[in-house]
Amino acid sequence: MEFAELIKTPRVDNVVLHRPFYPAVEGTLCLTGHHLILSSRQDNTEELWLLHSNIDAIDKRFVGPLGTIIIKCKDFRIIQLDIPGMEECLNIASSIEALSTLDSITLMYPFFYRPMFEVIEDGWHSFLPEQEFELYSSATSEWRLSYVNKEFAVCPSYPPIVIVPKAMDDEALRKVATFRHGGRFPVLSYYHKKNGMVIMRSGQPLTGTNGRRCKEDEKLINATLRAGKRGYIIDTRPLNVAQQARAKGGGFEQEAHYPQWRRIHKSIERYHILQESLIKLVEACNDQTHNMDRWLSRLEASNWLTHIKEILTTACLAAQCLDREGASILIHGTEGTDSTLQVTSLAQIILEPRSRTIRGFEALIEREWLQAGHPFQQRCAQSAYCNSKQKWESPVFLLFLDCVWQILRQFPCSFEFNENLLIMLFEHAYASQFGTFLGNNESERYFSALEQILQVFG
């Protein structure tokens, strides 16, 4: 497909751009395959370059021959373009619509982007699992790297290399994978050097209604316990939701089969509930009435901060179990790709000073989000202005970033980075010239040969 087919009018003159807090700019509007560009064609004024993939929704309005397009971006910006000529305006609008909703990943800008700067580091190989494992291997010999998922055959959403207890051979891992949702058998997420305890994560066990069990699964997670010590299983779903999951073949660990584990249920929301919450929050932020009570009630009604609190509470709980109780923890929800990752990654921010450095934080996101198979493409397809309401669209990653920001606010002297890094990651997760957040997991990225393009961490 050629982009040119989608661009009916590549250029319009005398377009006026309105942005909040900036004076209006008049200039020439150009559409390219990946960008909307507005340039006043004067030396001193800046140009607007907007990635089509950053566009969340557009509205058109006409007053006589003057058309207006309101562009709502995934990074919450709202800009307005006044375009003379009804036909031009319609053409531009339909082109933007088509170009901002391309679904083939290989048509995305990262595949076309040629950086103007010198690439000094190969970001794709900056945080290899082998290197991360080396950080632990000096402290413990109870864990090993497993290549059982080399062809993505055992678990499609896991990376080729995972860290597992040494006592478990690959054959057993394959068996455990059949017992866990999406093949996501328990793997190491974090090793706490202070006391040798660990955080593991997985998908839910497929116990179903008849209480199926899997000896290898029990053996795997028991391998992380010291003699006489108990561990904690944190299920991010409330008990009733976990119980309902049994009807669909899922479920939770039965006490009888996991006697050394104590299960705690939390209730972290997922999916469209979060998306609706974000939509309400952004609506409240854009409220023009400047009414105090209205702001507070809309903020409350959005429930955004309730979600933040629940996630942080769960992460604090996990960190305390590990650090204070000296207990190992297994964390999962249903798939183990959303709330699970929020909790495991925040617990590490709380516990591990390295993850509060810039590099350590990048490594954390690489490990706990990208390689752990958080489906970025599905979750970040749309942002707060869309009307499509697909179940899989959900600001899970944004909530994680917000939680980090909350910790940053409480402990401003303990982080190497500031909020700008968090905002930058949010923007790139939704629309980027880099390939880091493309695709839903390692195997998708592997097969679309992302290596040719650039990593944001590079």
Partner 1 sequence: MEHIRTTKVEQVKLLDRFSTSNKSLTGTLYLTATHLLFIDSHQKETWILHHHIASVEKLALTTSGCPLVIQCKNFRIVHFIVPRERDCHDIYNSLLQLSKQAKYEDLYAFSYNPKQNDSERLRGWQLVDLAEEYKRMGLPNSNWQLSDANRDYKICETYPRELYVPRIASKPTIVGSSKFRSKGRFPVLSYYHQSKEAAICRCSQPLSGFSARCLEDEHLLQAISKANPANRYMYVMDTRPRLNAMANRAAGKGYENEDNYSNIRFQFVGIENIHVMRSSLQKLLEVNGTKGLSVSDFYSGLENTGWLRHIKAVTDAAVFLAKAIMVENASVLVHCSDGWDRTSQVCSLGSLLLDPYYRTIRGFMVLIEKDWISFGHKYSERCGHLDGDPKEVSPVFTQFLECVWHLTEQFPQAFEFNEAFLLQIHEHVHSCQFGNFIGNCQKEREELKLKEKTYSLWPFLLDDQKKYFNPLYGSTSQKLAVLEPNTVSFNFKFWRNMYHQFDRTLHPRQSVFNIIRNMNEQNKQLQKDVKDLESQIKQRKNKQTDGVLTKELLNSVRPESPALKTSLCLKEQTLLPVNDALRSIEGGNPADNRYSEYADEFSKSEPAVVSSEYGVARMTC
Interface contacts to partner 1, rule CB under 8 A: 232, 262, 264, 266, 285, 287, 290-297, 299-300, 303, 305-306, 308-309, 312-313, 316-317, 319-321, 323-325, 349-353, 356-357, 406-407, 409-416
CB of 229 to partner 1, least distance (A): 14
Tokens 């959005």 -> residue: 302
SS3 letters for 320-367?
A: HHHHCCCCCEEEECCCCCCHHHHHHHHHHHHHCHHHHCHHHHHHHHHH
Q: Give 174 or 263: the residue with its C-beta nearer to partner 1.
A: 263
Q: Give 138 or 410: the residue with its C-beta nearer to partner 1.
A: 410
Tokens 């990048």 -> residue: 362
Q: Give 90 or 317: the residue with its C-beta nearer to partner 1.
A: 317
CB of 336 to partner 1, least distance (A): 21
For residue 278, CA distances in Å to 121, 270, 295, 333, 399 come to: 35, 12, 15, 21, 9
CB of 235 to partner 1, least distance (A): 11
- CA dist 379 and 377 (Å) reads 6
For residue 312, CA distances in Å to 249, 306, 371 come to: 29, 10, 22
CB of 213 to partner 1, least distance (A): 25
DSSP secondary structure letters along 146-157: E-TTTTS-S-TT
CB of 307 to partner 1, least distance (A): 9
Evaluate whether 282 touches 385 at the Cβ level (below 8 Å).
Answer: yes
CB of 328 to partner 1, least distance (A): 14
Evaluate whether 379 touches 275 at the Cβ level (below 8 Å).
Answer: no
Q: Give 70 or 316: the residue with its C-beta nearer to partner 1.
A: 316
Q: Give 147 or 411: the residue with its C-beta nearer to partner 1.
A: 411
List of long-range contacts for 310-313, beta carbons under 8 Å, 24+ apart:
310/266, 310/267, 310/268, 310/269, 311/268, 311/339, 311/342, 311/343, 311/346, 311/399, 311/400, 311/403, 312/346, 312/403, 312/406, 312/407, 313/266
Q: Give 135 or 296: the residue with its C-beta nearer to partner 1.
A: 296
Q: Give 61 or 229: the residue with its C-beta nearer to partner 1.
A: 229
- CB-hemisphere CA count at 13 Å for 175? 13
- CA dist 203 and 187 (Å) reads 10
Q: Give 184 or 266: the residue with its C-beta nearer to partner 1.
A: 266
Q: Give 10 or 238: the residue with its C-beta nearer to partner 1.
A: 238
For residue 364, CA distances in Å to 176, 242, 289, 349, 454 come to: 25, 28, 41, 9, 19
- CB contact set of 14 (below 8 Å; sequence gap of 6+): 26, 28, 84
Q: Give 155 or 278: the residue with its C-beta nearer to partner 1.
A: 278
CB of 291 to partner 1, least distance (A): 7
Tokens 């929800």 -> residue: 333
CB of 340 to partner 1, least distance (A): 18
Structural tokens at position 384: 């707060």
Q: Is 30 helix (H, G, I), strand (E, B) or coil?
A: strand
CB of 352 to partner 1, least distance (A): 8
At position 380, the amino acid (one-letter code) is C
CB of 195 to partner 1, least distance (A): 11
